[in-house]
Amino acid sequence: MKLTDLVKFNDQGLLCTVVQHAQTGQVLMVGYMNSESLARTLRDGRACFWSRSRRRLWTKGETSGHFLHVQEVRIDCDGDALLLKCAPAGPTCHTNETSCFYRKVESDGAVTLAGNGVATQ
């Protein structure tokens, strides 16, 4: 089967993409790809997204040097989400946290800082 037969971009031409640390399993970020950024990611082995705020292609790390080196790409059962297993060259979040998911939500809706978000902690 080919990716092009399976992948379903949404009505804005975007595909939800989860980035996971290939070694620790930590979920690092969620981004969106269009078909061009997906092609670049597969070709170059570095995660490239469509920046919805800047409305342009955005290779993660192009400014900071904190590239996400892609080790494996997976697609989900209905073809509308990707999972990238990556070796990050530095912190993934623009706040300098390892992961963008550094805040915890309690059942009463309170939000607290929770550190690095490693999956098994």
Q: Name the residues that contact its own copies, by CB under 8 A.
A: 1-6, 16, 18, 20-27, 29-30, 42-43, 45, 72-78, 80-83, 85, 93-95, 97, 100-112, 114, 117, 119-120
Distances, alpha carbon 43 to alpha carbons 70, 86, 116, in Å = 10, 15, 30
Q: How far is the CB of 71 from its own copies (least distance, A)?
A: 11
Q: How far is the CB of 89 from its own copies (least distance, A)?
A: 18
- Would you say 56 or 74 has its CB closer to its own copies? 74
Distances, alpha carbon 84 to alpha carbons 22, 77, 106, in Å = 8, 15, 28
- Would you say 44 or 62 has its CB closer to its own copies? 44
Alpha-carbon distance of 88 to 98, in angstroms, equals 9
Nearest to 72 by CA among 88, 87, 59, 85: 85
Q: How far is the CB of 35 from its own copies (least distance, A)?
A: 11
Q: How far is the CB of 68 from its own copies (least distance, A)?
A: 15
Torsion 22-121-90-33 (CA) sign? positive
